[in-house]
Amino acid sequence: MRTAELTRETNETKISITFNPDVRGEVSISTGIGFLDHMLNAFARHGGFSLRVAAEGDLEVDCHHTVEDIGILLGDAVKEAVGNGAGITRFSDVTIPMDESRATAALDVGGRGYLVMDGAFTGIMTGGIPNDLFEHFFYSFCIHAGITAHIIFTGVNDHHKCEAIFKAFGIALGRALSVRDGCVDIPSTKGTF
């Protein structure tokens, strides 16, 4: 069974994450940031994988370090769970509507971290999180996981945009990490990621 249990402790944060792409529904999120809890819960539940996140951060400063470090450690956990990538689907893309908003996530879980995020938020903050920090979260996640991701989003309401993004990314990740029946090959012409 593919699983990863990791911790990260700095002078700014203390985080533990358990990730398992093969077990559906075991989700427990506690970051100290209510809106991030909501987004990660949607990400995991719609993605169809198990995720446990427990984080303590210097929220008296702001939420930047906590959000960034969760992205880093989540990326590390996904990379560890994927291992050499043998048998995974690797590529996936999903478009999700959320009322007037829509988000597309196209992923390549192929060992190279890269992020293109195309869209604009209306305001400065959503759920107490500066809106520019959502791109930084996905950048940190993708670089550490070795995922190339293209995220495109539109809409009016920033909460809806964020929720569509996290749901689309979660579903695309779950599909990309799914193991193809009877396949044990590494999905790369190079033979490695």
The predicted pLDDT at position 60 comes to: 94
Q: How many domains does the chain have?
A: 1
25 in a structural domain? yes
CATH number of the domain to which 122 belongs: 3.30.230.40
Q: What confidence tier does 25 reach under pLDDT thresholds 50, 70, 90?
A: confident
188 in a structural domain? no
189 in a structural domain? no
> pLDDT by residue (tens digit) across 109-125?
999 999 999 999 999 99
Q: What confidence tier does 183 reach under pLDDT thresholds 50, 70, 90?
A: low
120 in a structural domain? yes
- Per the CB < 8 A criterion, the answer to whether 98 and 161 are in contact is yes
Q: Which residue has the higher pLDDT, 86 or 148?
A: 148
Q: Given a cut of 70, is residue 45 above it in pLDDT?
A: yes
Phi first, then psi, for residue 111 (nearest 5°) are 95, -10
76 in a structural domain? yes
167 in a structural domain? yes
Axis crossing angle, helix 64-82 with helix 158-177, rounded to the nearest 10: 20
The predicted pLDDT at position 76 comes to: 98
Phi first, then psi, for residue 46 (nearest 5°) are -75, -25
- pTM metric for this prediction: 0.94
